[in-house]
Amino acid sequence: MQTTGSGLKPAGTTATSIGVAAAREAAGRTGEIRISPHSNMVYWWIVWVYGYICALAININHVGVQLSGKLIKFHPSAWVGLSFLLLVVFVIVFTNVRARVLHTFLIMATLALIAIGIDWTYGLSRIVGWVPELVVQMNLAFYMVFSTALMVLWFLVVFLIDRSTVWRFTSGQVMETHRLGQAAAHVYDTRGMLMKRMPDDLFRHKILGLGILGFGTGDLIFKPAAPGAEPFILENVWRVNERQREIERLIISSGSPI
């Protein structure tokens, strides 16, 4: 297998004896590397976490309204609800729009210039004043119910549904397997296969994927050498840097060129 991209060695690279020994030891323990790509749901953890933070803020400081014989608790500041809605919109946009690092900064700069232009021309407070009913408030029960439901769904998708598809890497082949349904869908020969890592997205991979904490997600593209074989992509691979190194070491341990 030939690999390209960050963290991978070019063809003909000779590993140190220590690196090869460690790789062979790891390969001897597992015999293969298993990777489960994730859906965009993996990035929604921040929404239910922030929902619980909002609920905690209401418990600490709240105002009560009697409704249907029950005391409904709200936070006195409408910015709590507005910030929650903005976070949801942020996650929806940046987990579905592929904005790489340069494009991300361009988007942020454009939005900042638009906001400054509106503020200079009309004034943001004046625009908000046109809609006096614009008060975003969600009560304590909303944050608890919404966050709990989203958290349960997040765990089911990330740790059950996403992991039902497993890509198994060995020194000679790559196999796509499904724990639900058919046992094996595709098998590829690793000889002459190219691997490339797509440029990271600042928001998706670095922030929401916790790349700034040393974890991070990433997208890996593989191009089989067989004539007519279509390339395949593994999206949102968790701990992508570590996965890249594991694949590299597995290939080194087999004695095959990278």
Predicted local distance difference test score (pLDDT) of residue 228: 81
* Cα–Cα distance for residue pair 238/41, rounded to 1 Å: 13
CB 212 within 8 A of CB 202: no
Element (H, E) at 65: strand 63-67
**Stretch 177-192: mean pLDDT:** 74
- How buried is 51 (Cβ within 10 angstroms: 0-12 exposed, 13-18 middle, 19+ buried)? buried
pLDDT in tens, 121-160: 555 555 555 555 566 788 999 999 999 999 999 999 999 9
Q: Where are the domains of the chain?
A: 2-40+165-253, 42-160
CATH 2.30.29 fits 2-40+165-253, yes or no: yes
In 131-229, the DSSP E strands lie at 165-169, 173-178, 184-189, 194-197, 217-223
Cα-flanking dihedrals φ and ψ of residue 64, to 5°?
A: -110, 145
This prediction's pTM: 0.73
Burial readout 131-164 (b: 16 or more C-beta within 10 A, e: otherwise): eeeeeebbbbebbeebbeebbeebeebbeeebee
CA distances from 111 to 21, 82, 206 (A): 52, 18, 20
Least confident range of 5-9, 12-16, 114-118, 203-207: 12-16
Report pLDDT for 12: 38
Give the percent of the chain with pLDDT over 90: 23
Among the listed ranges 17-31, 182-196, 234-248, which one has the minimum average pLDDT value? 17-31
